[in-house]
Structure 1
Amino acid sequence: MPEKLQVLGSRKGLTPGLQHYTTVTVADNSGAKEAVIIGIYGYKGVLRRIPFANIADLVMVSVRKGTPEVRKQKFKAVIVRQRMPFRRPDGTWIAFEDNAVVIVNPDGTPKGTEIRGPIAKEAAERWPKVASIATMVI
C-alpha cells in the first residue's frame, strides 16, 4: 500500500489564486486537456466560504476534456501555474498566463511523462517528482 501524501493545505499569507470549480488546463501528457477543481486537500475553512488553493497545493480535479479513458474521472493534481499574481519572499511578483495542473498518482508521482510549459519554483520545491519531468522551472 502506498504511503500517504503529506498535505499541508493552503499556506497562510499567500494570494488565493484558484477556488472551487475553477477550470484549469492540464499541463502534462496524461490524456486530459481540461479539468475542473472539485476539492482542495488540507483546506480548513469557514462555513459558506469558498475554498481556495495556491501554487503547489494538492487538489482533486474532474477531467472535462481529453481522451475517452480519462474523461469523466476524478484525479489528484498539483497546481503548477496560476494567473493571479503572487509574491515571493524575495519581493518579486509572479503571474502566469494560465491556470494549470499536473495529474499525479496516489503516491505523488506524475501520471504523464512530460510537462508542457513552465512550472513555478514553489511547485518544484514541494513536489520533486513533478520537477524532474518539467522542461522549465520559473
Structure 2
Amino acid sequence: MTMKGIAGRQTHGSQTGTVLNVIDNTGAKTIAIITVPRYHGTSRRYPKASVGDIVIASVKKGTPEMRRQVVYAVIVRQRRPFRRADGVMISFEDNAAVITTEEGETKGTDIKGPVAREAAERWPRIAATASTII
C-alpha cells in the first residue's frame, strides 16, 4: 500500500468516538470512529485523525445490512480549521468520510459534495470518484 504524505503537520479534527457523515452511496449514513491505524501517540491519549487519514469505524445509521458493521473510511472533510502549505486556513461545514477498503479503494461509486485536496492527493481512487475537489 503506497500513500503520499501531507506536507507539514496536519491539525487533527477527529478522534475516537467522533461521528462522521458518509457521503458515498454504500448505504451507510453516519459512522463513529473506533480507532486510527498507524497513529502513534502518547500513552492514554485518544487516537486522532485529520483530513486524508484512514480510520476504522462502526456504522451507526444506514441500511439494515450496513448497520453495526466495522468499516474502513477516509476522512474527506472536517469542521476544525486546518492550515495548508500555502498559508490558507480551510474548514468545512461538517465532518465527512468515504467508506473504503483497507487499501483505500472506494466501495461506493459516487461521492456527494466537496472533498478536500489533501484527501484527493493521498487517495487516487477518491480523487477519481469525487465530483468536486476543494
Per the normalisation by structure 2, the TM-score is: 0.94
Cα deviation, 1:33-55, whole Å, max 9, x if unaligned, reads 00000010110111111111011
- Aligned partner letter, 1:56: G
Spell out the pairing of 1:1-138 with structure 2 (5 A cutoff): 5-6=1-2, 13-138=9-134
What is the aligned length? Answer: 134
- Aligned partner letter, 1:132: A
Q: Indicate the RMSD between aligned Cα atoms, in angstroms.
A: 1.8
Gapped regions of structure 1 (runs ≥ 5): none
**Secondary structure at 1:34's aligned position in 2?**
strand
- The verdict on how the C-alpha distance between 1:74 and 1:8 changes in structure 2, with shifts beyond 3 A counting, is farther
Gapped regions of structure 2 (runs ≥ 5): none
- Aligned partner letter, 1:131: A
TM-fit CA distance, 1:107: 3.2
Q: Is the Cα contact below 8 Å between 1:10 and 1:52 reproduced in 2?
A: no
Structure 1 outlier segments of 4+, above 6 Å: 7-12
- Aligned partner letter, 1:74: V
Q: Work out the CA distance in 2 between the residues paired with 1:68 and 1:83.
A: 28
Q: Is the Cα contact below 8 Å between 1:77 and 1:101 reproduced in 2?
A: yes
Q: Work out the CA distance in 2 between the residues paired with 1:80 and 1:49.
A: 23
- Aligned partner letter, 1:79: I
**Secondary structure at 1:130's aligned position in 2?**
helix
Identity of aligned residues (%): 51
Q: Work out the CA distance in 2 between the residues paired with 1:51 and 1:8.
A: 20
